Amino acid sequence: MASDSTHENSLKASIIVLLMIFQIMSLTSAQFNTVPQSELTADYPVHSSQSVGDLALDFGNEIAGQYIDYGGVTNTKVMYESELDIYHDFQIQDMANGLVESVDVTISDLQKISACWITDAGSVYNYNVDLDNVSDLMQVDQVSTNQGVNPIVDCAIAVKENGRETMLYADGDDLKAAQIAYASPLYSNGDDWHVRTILEGINATSIELEVTSEQLEWGLFRDDMGRLHRVNYTGVFWETGIIDNGPVGNDFELAIDNEDKISILFNKDNKTFLHTIKGHVSTTEAVFQHEHMHDDIGLTLDGYGLMQMFSTSIEDNITTAKLQRSLTNEKNQISSEATLSFLANTENSTVAEVIFADFNNDGFDDLVYSEPNADTSLLTDNGIVSVHYGSENGIGLMPDLTFEGPTNSSNLGSGLAVGDFNGDSYPDISLGLPGFDNNNGSVRFSFGSNQGLATVLLTVPGVSTPSLNGASYGSCLESVEDLNSDNKDELLICSIDYDLQGDTGLVELFFGNIIATTWVKMNSPNQITSGSNFGRSISADGDLNGDGFVDLVIGNTGDLIDSSGYSSVELRYGNAMGFSS
């Protein structure tokens, strides 16, 4: 994907060069150390070595088996495990009458290099070259060049198993698809490109394209509002939908493995997110966070289908790239021996909720766990919540911070949720006290900062105090990813003992806000089907209908003690105002 700034282009070029160097030097090397002559039982050959710069290389594997000097290490044999097979450097086209605005390059399974680019004059080009150095350059299309209204946007290219190239690119505010059409009775003048407009008025700013195992196009584009869309071909028609409401960064990446698991990497809110789609199931997780995130990111799959990705940050004119590699199928990922173990703070208590989050944004995840039935400070069942801050040495045996329930049977921590409720980019925690005030219940908060979580629990107007009596408000909590695009997460609160006209259990949605402002209750799900307890379990972690809003699944069932009656599971679709009834 082409970048819009010289700085970003230079950064990408630098990273590509570095990665190529890393590939060359990652060849497993074996150092031949000098052994005292008295211990030798046979004559060993003497090898002469040379600098890497002295080698004339056309193929990366030509360096294998040779002895080199590099980085202060001398007389080192380079082994044959190489992934850099070939490279060449020559001019494809002399753009004397224009500038290349964007370039995309891919390499097919047959080692054929394919590229597309658009000039500032609006000419869309395709170029390919095979291992025999046979190349072809064609103009695909001519697009709008009204820079003041519709700037030139990058193209994206992919190659199918049969070698047929396919492209996505913008023409003004429209999106076009193009596929090579080989010479035939229909194309009697030779190879040509079949071009069609697939979406109108979308104002794409960046585009990515891959093909599925069924050799169907699957692409992404970002619009001028920062929303990330999918666009995919079914074999009959093109479909589209929103992946994320954004605003996402200008750079995003797309990869599809052999089992059609789709991986999407993008930046949003000073975080890098990995969004995966497998069939009808999608998940989103934050893989990197930094106060000074940079747009440039990378994602690829290695020869085993394992994910490799990098994110970047820039601070004080220093750019840092964080490289991450999937450990799927790697042996001994998690040792059978515990690295660290510690006992709960109180006797005869049970750990109910365990959550990880980086509350002080230092790059290390922190641990929070609750014991709602713990007895502390001469109280009974008041509950305790413990926080262990992470560091480069892991977490400590003793908690760095604890919160205790204020009264007997308040059961602090029965509900526990993490989200950025006040929109300051630091994760916060919400804690339920369903037994507080004679089972009226309460919800308290500790907000994150660069110093970590606030040491005193706060009550927030509009949300901390229940509107009903005796309903055990705060018995379960669930954070909801920002629905109304105000950069603040929302909060679902369960009242497990609610009972009114046959309905048992209540789930309410509150929109996040700053501490001093009264939080507002929004569209909350009501009970529709029969069940022993609406809100026995809830989950708002997935976008089930692909509209860019998370959806809510609610369990309506009894428990092991009282399991009588019918059970049900209810689904609510999310929107900017909450969840549908």
Sign of the CA dihedral with 104 first, then 287, 306, and 10 last? positive
Rounded to a whole number, what is the distance in angstroms from the first to the last CA of the chain?
42
Q: What is the reported pLDDT for 527?
A: 85
Is the residue at 150 inside a domain? yes
Q: Which single residue is written with the structure tokens 């308040």? A: 410
Is the residue at 346 inside a domain? no
Same domain, 479 and 376: yes
DSSP for 72-141, written as a single string: TEEEEEE-S---------------TT--EEEEEEEE-TT--EEEEEEETT-EEEEEEE-TT--EEEEEEE
Q: Are 560 and 567 in contact (CB under 8 A)?
A: no
Residue where one domain finishes, among candidates 29, 55, 87: 87
Is the residue at 403 inside a domain? yes
- Rounded to 5 degrees, what angle do the CA atoms 532, 537, 538 make? 125
Same domain, 149 and 99: yes
Same domain, 366 and 299: no
358-to-254, 311, 390, 482, 537 alpha-carbon distances in Å:
27, 17, 8, 18, 25
What whole-number distance in Å separates Cα of residue 387 and Cα of residue 481? 23
Q: What is the reported pLDDT for 434?
A: 97
Same domain, 444 and 473: yes
Same domain, 503 and 521: yes
Ordered per-residue pLDDT tens for the chain, 581 residues? 443 443 444 444 444 433 444 444 443 333 333 334 434 344 444 445 555 556 655 545 556 677 777 666 677 776 655 444 445 566 776 666 567 777 899 988 777 889 999 988 889 999 998 878 888 999 999 998 765 556 778 899 999 998 899 999 999 899 999 999 887 777 767 788 999 999 999 999 999 999 999 999 999 999 999 999 999 999 999 999 999 998 999 999 999 998 899 999 999 998 999 999 998 888 998 888 888 888 889 898 877 778 888 888 888 888 888 888 776 655 545 555 677 777 766 777 888 999 999 999 998 999 999 999 999 999 999 999 999 999 988 898 899 999 999 999 999 999 999 999 999 999 999 999 999 999 999 999 999 999 999 999 999 999 999 999 999 999 999 999 999 999 999 999 999 999 877 668 899 999 999 888 899 999 999 888 776 788 888 999 889 888 989 999 998 886 655 555 667 889 999 999 999 76
User: Which amino acid belongs to residue 183?
Assistant: A
Number of domains in the chain: 3
Same domain, 321 and 362: no
Is the residue at 337 inside a domain? no
Same domain, 363 and 299: no
Q: Could you tell me which of 443, 448, 445, 452 has the C-alpha nearest to residue 423?
A: 448
Is the residue at 476 inside a domain? yes
For residue 530, what are the domain limits?
A: 353-579
Same domain, 530 and 411: yes
Same domain, 77 and 115: no
> Residue 294's beta-bridge partner residues?
312
User: Number of C-alpha atoms within 13 angstroms, CB side, residue 38?
Assistant: 0
Both tokens of 326, joined, read 């999937």
Q: What is the reported pLDDT for 374?
A: 94
For residue 372, say if its preceding peptide bond is cis, omega within 30 degrees of 0.
Answer: no
Same domain, 362 and 406: yes
CATH number at residue 300: 2.120.10.10
Q: Which single residue is written with the structure tokens 């089907």? A: 529
Same domain, 361 and 386: yes
Residue where one domain finishes, among candidates 87, 113, 130: 87
